[in-house]
Chains A and B, each alone.
Chain A
Amino acid sequence: MTDLPLNIQSTSVSTISFACLTEARIAAGDRFAALLALPLGEQIRLLSVTSCFGGFNVIECDLETAEPTYPSFDAATPMANWYARRIFDLYGLAPSDAATLDPLIARRPCQGLHQSPEKTGLTPKFAESSRPSVIGEGVFKIPLGPVRSGVFESIEFVVETPGEEILHVEPRPFYKHRGVDAAFFGKSAEDGALIAERVEGIAGVAHAIAYCQAVEKLADVEIHMQAELVRVVHAELERIANHLESVIRHCEASAQAVAYARLSLHKESVMRLRSNICGHRFSRGVIAPGGVTTPLLLPPAEVAKKVAEIEKSIDRDMTLLMRTPSFLDRLRGTGVVTPLQARLFGALGPLGRGSGLTEDGRISHTYGAYKHLGFLPTADAQDGDAMSRQMIRIDEIANSFHLLRQALDDLNNMEHPSQNWKVELEVKDGMSLGWAEAPQGEVLYAVAIEKGRIKSLAQRSASFHNLALFSTAFPKDITTDFAFIEASFGISVAGASS
């Protein structure tokens, strides 16, 4: 393959060597990022994406639909099975040595593009897990969800417990599967951005950026710095809103009524600022292939002033919250994800960074205007508990404000701020990978374009990846810790089950 940019090293291989080469990458120190499937007419292309210093290694192999199996690499990473379940749900494609694959994001291969499960010779179990249940005196299963108590997204957690201590949790996000990947097929590059914004609505800006960067690589265009800076402004406001939401959920769970009300107020201020600068509270319709559709609707200096006000009020309340013992006691030692587990599973975003991983796509796989902006030093929180993740998020809020100040300052100093928002692009045929750092972590988009339209697309949100670690985060936790662990993971079910 020659149609990929330099920082993506792509190798096309046979089915037989696909697994060993992926294993070799992981053994060489790469982080396993994703296993993606792109249906391309009579074939399905499998991509194993591993992250290395400054870029991604992509190993591709094409499978014929007549023989829809591939060798598994379960031995190399505990994530292999997690991705295999997703690909089986979507396209009926399975590793050759898999005995069963439990449904994960859909109850049946519902996009119906290729294989029926019978052809693969597997009998997918729809109702129960292939993992043996925990057995012991008084141990029982509680299905939590899919209809939750409160305003939550639908997801079911099957909790196995003798009453207080949680022995095992199995997340089942498949209830709200929407078949998002297939919604892209056949759409124009421009329309794709609108769908990308709605894959994981609360991280729509990051998804749109990841998608657009994939398309822009194929069109081989440079985006104007003004547009890149506007993208940063929207992306960082989105990050602040998401991290505040996570802290708000913690406050709600620990009955910190005033803190809950105060932080909800600040989050509302952020959402209002977002709508004031683009007309939409989730910044939708702004990011488009080639740049942005609209400049900031307020002068950058005025936005900077409002941002400074919000920063000050958040900072005051956050400082007080982090000195409130009745709050902190619930977070310390809760839901520990050890650094070893985090590294093994390749935990993304604040979840990984709270367990000692340092990778942040904005720095390690830098893109857009982030190349030119300075970051504050990151917090030293590596205990892997809910407290560490909370500290990482608070730290990232401060960092986002730091980036916003620089981006708005740069926009203010630009000579012709009313021009150069969008470049016209001609999308060439080929395949490309785009990524962005969402509030939840790394988002990946593999896009295949044919005749100017999206032939095929596979996306992976950090929520999907991180959900695999959820069941490992209950080493000695009890049922009342559940809400905190869920809040500290900050998973969007829409992204996980898309």
Chain B
Amino acid sequence: MPWILRGLSNGVITSKYPKKMDSYGDSHHSSVKVQTEYLASRDTDLEGLCPTGAIRVELGRPRIDLGQCILCGRCVDRAPEIFSFSTDFETARLSRDLLVVPPSAESTGELANLKSALADRVRRFGNSVALRHIDCGSDGSEEWEIAALTNPVYDVQRLGITFTASPRHADILLVTGAGAKGMSDSLKETYHQMAEPKVVVAVGTDAISGGTHSNSAAVVAGGIEGVLPVDVFVPGSPPSPFGILYGILLAMGIALDGGAST
């Protein structure tokens, strides 16, 4: 009895996202933005700023690969005229190329095809999906953020999203971690056990590119894409629960702008 009253004591605390934007979601760093007008001179070593090699300068224009960025903020600290933090948590994208900001014309042109192809595949999900998570060498923080989705604040069950223990029941596979070689067989087996249609979401910078472990002999080169085809990429080290939720909504084919915003 005391627990029942306790359960009611705070009223409704659940976020309205995605129907309404959530003010907390936009309150902390989610990605890095690049000032597009900036033209780098040859003697500034912008690429050397980034500890994970996420910055590339092409024809004087700096670009950041969010799939490699660990949000350490060093570029923002050292070159604030070019780089700044963005608090927009809707950073998940349907292709690896789209994670490079600002995106190139080719990669945005590709988006419409990707969106319709994914929409065709996931039509039969309806508005209800079962998730299966698998860890392939994470640092443990991504698991916390995924598990947070079931707490009363995010409560993803309200959106028809449930977690399942069996890959046989799963529609969406959430993969975390840098792609440890020891997990490759288990990852492939889990994927094969899932019924069609199925969607793979790479959760976190580690899963997308290996992050700080990208040069390790113990992980697969290029993150988990080196083992499985990936449909949705959620950058972040780790991504926040809202960031992961946006990625899941993309995978369900119901997300908002489909990763078009930059």
A binds B: yes
Q: List residues of A whose CB falls within 8 A of some B CB.
A: 106-107, 110-112, 146-147, 149-154, 174-180, 182-183, 187, 190-191, 194-195, 198-202, 204, 245, 256, 258-259, 261-262, 264-265, 267-268, 271-272, 275-276, 279-282, 284-285, 293, 316-317, 320, 324, 492-495
Return chain B residues, CB-CB under 8 Å to A187.
51
A268 x B180 contact (CB < 8 A): no
A47: min CB distance to chain B, Å: 23
Q: Say yes or no: is B186 at the interface (Cβ < 8 Å to chain A).
A: yes
Chain B residues within 8 Å of A264, by CB: 148, 150-152
Task: Kindly state the separation between the CA atoms of A487 and B205 in the bound complex, as whole angstroms.
Answer: 27
Quick check: which of B34-42, B111-119, B134-142, B223-231 contacts chain A, the rest being far away? B134-142
Report whether B70 and A194 are in contact in the complex, using a CB–CB cutoff of 8 Å.
Answer: yes
Is there an interface contact between B3 and A153, defined as CB atoms closer than 8 Å? Answer: no
The smallest beta-carbon distance between A248 and chain B, in angstroms, is 9
Kindly list chain A residues whose C-beta atoms are within 8 Å of the C-beta of B7. 258, 261-262
Q: A175-B180, A178-B213, A276-B27 are in contact. Are A204 and B136 (CB under 8 A)?
A: no
The residue of chain A having its C-beta at the shortest distance from the C-beta of B205 within the complex is A198
- Contact present for B140 and A153 (CB under 8 Å): yes
Please give the distance in Å from A237's CB to the nearest CB on chain B: 14
A280 to B180, CA, bound (A): 25
> What 18 new A-B contacts, CB under 8 Å, besides A179-B213, A276-B28?
A111-B217, A112-B217, A149-B166, A150-B165, A153-B138, A153-B140, A176-B135, A177-B182, A178-B177, A179-B216, A183-B212, A194-B70, A202-B141, A265-B152, A265-B153, A271-B148, A285-B71, A285-B73
Question: Contacts A178-B219, A198-B237; is A279 near B29 (CB within 8 Å)?
Answer: yes
Q: How far is the CB of B50 from chain A (nearest CB, A)?
A: 10
Known: A149-B165, A176-B180, A276-B27. A198 touches B139 (CB 8 A): yes
A190 contacts across to B, CB distance below 8 A: 51
Query: Could you list 27 examples of A-B contacts with CB < 8 Å?
Result: A110-B217, A150-B133, A151-B133, A151-B146, A154-B134, A154-B177, A175-B182, A176-B137, A176-B182, A198-B206, A198-B211, A198-B213, A200-B140, A204-B141, A265-B152, A265-B153, A267-B151, A268-B153, A275-B28, A279-B28, A281-B28, A282-B141, A284-B72, A285-B73, A324-B3, A493-B140, A494-B140
Alpha-carbon separation in the docked complex, A261 to B9 (Å): 12
Bound CA span A451–B148, Å: 43
Inter-subunit contact A284/B178 (CB<8 Å)? no
Q: How far is the CB of A282 from chain B (nearest CB, A)?
A: 5
What residues make up the interface of B, taking CB atoms closer than 8 Å to A?
2-4, 6-7, 10, 13, 24, 27-29, 51, 70-73, 77, 85, 133-148, 150-153, 163, 165-166, 177-178, 180-183, 186, 190, 206, 211-213, 215-219, 237-238, 240
Interface centre among B4, B140, B143, B240 (most CB of A within 10 A): B140
- Chain B residues closer than 8 Å to A198, beta-carbon distance: 70, 139, 206, 211-213, 237
Least CB separation from A274: chain B residue: B28
A146 engages B183 (CB within 8 Å): yes
Q: How far is the CA of A190 from the CA of B18 in the complex (A)?
A: 39
In the bound complex, residues from chain B placing their C-beta under 8 Å from that of A275 are 27-28, 240
**Residue of B3, B7, B27, B215 ringed by the most chain A CB atoms within 10 A:** B3
Contact B212 A174 (CB under 8 A): no
- A497, B145: Cα distance in complex, Å: 21
A494 and B217 alpha carbons, distance in the complex (Å): 17
- Nearest CB on A from B182, distance (A): 4
Docked-complex contact B151 and A268, CB < 8 angstroms: yes
Q: How many A-B residue pairs have CB under 8 A?
A: 175
Q: Residue among B51, B143, B212, B218 with the most chain A CB within 10 A? A: B218
Residue in A154, A176, A183, A262 whose beta carbon sits within 8 Å of that of B215 in the complex: A183
Given that A276-B28, A280-B28 are contacting pairs, would A259 and B3 also be in contact in the complex, using a CB cutoff of 8 Å?
Answer: yes
Residues of A within 8 A of B85 (CB): 279
Q: Which of B137, B147, B152, B206 contacts A177 (CB 8 A)?
A: B137
Verify B218–A179 contact, CB threshold 8 A: yes
Distance of A58 Cα from B77 Cα, bound (Å): 38
| Contact A320/B138 with A281-B28, A281-B145, A284-B71 known, Cβ cut-off 8 Å | no
Are A492 and B140 in contact, CB atoms less than 8 angstroms apart?
yes
The residues of A that contact B219 with a CB separation of less than 8 Å are 178-179
List A contacts of B143 (CB < 8 A).
Answer: 151-153
State whether A195 touches B212 (Cβ < 8 A): yes
B146 contacts which chain A residues (CB < 8 A)? Answer: 151
Pairwise interchain contact A111-B186, C-beta atoms closer than 8 A: no
Q: Are A110 and B218 in contact (CB under 8 A)?
A: yes
Q: Which residues of A are found within 8 Å of B51, using beta-carbon distances?
A: 187, 190-191, 194
Q: A275 vs B239: C-alpha distance in the bound complex, in angstroms?
A: 12
Q: Contacts of A258 on B, CB cut-off 8 Å? A: 3-4, 6-7
Q: Which residue of B lies closest to A261 (CB)?
A: B152
Most B CB contacts (10 A, CB to CB) among A151, A154, A179 go to: A151
Return chain A residues, CB-CB under 8 Å to B136. 154, 176
Query: Judging by beta carbons under 8 Å apart, are B140 and A495 in contact?
Result: yes
Q: Is the CB of A174 within 8 A of B6?
A: no
Q: Are A107 and B182 in contact (CB under 8 A)?
A: yes
Most chain A beta-carbon contacts within 10 A, residue among B151, B163, B177, B178: B151
Query: Are B3 and A245 closer than 8 Å at their CB atoms?
Result: no
- Chain A residues with Cβ under 8 A from B147's Cβ? 151
Question: Which of B2, B70, B212 is packed against the most chain A CB atoms within 10 Å?
Answer: B212
A397 to B: closest C-beta gap in Å: 17
A145 to chain B, nearest CB (A): 9
Question: Do B218 and A202 touch (CB < 8 A)?
Answer: no
- Among A198, A320, A492, the one with the most B-chain Cβ atoms within 10 Å of its Cβ is A198
CB distance B140 to A202 under 8 Å? yes
Which of B2, B150, B183, B190 contacts A176 (CB under 8 A)?
Answer: B183
C-alpha gap A26/B6 in the complex (Å): 51
Bound-complex Cα distance A430 to B29 (A): 36
Question: Are B72 and A178 closer than 8 Å at their CB atoms?
Answer: no
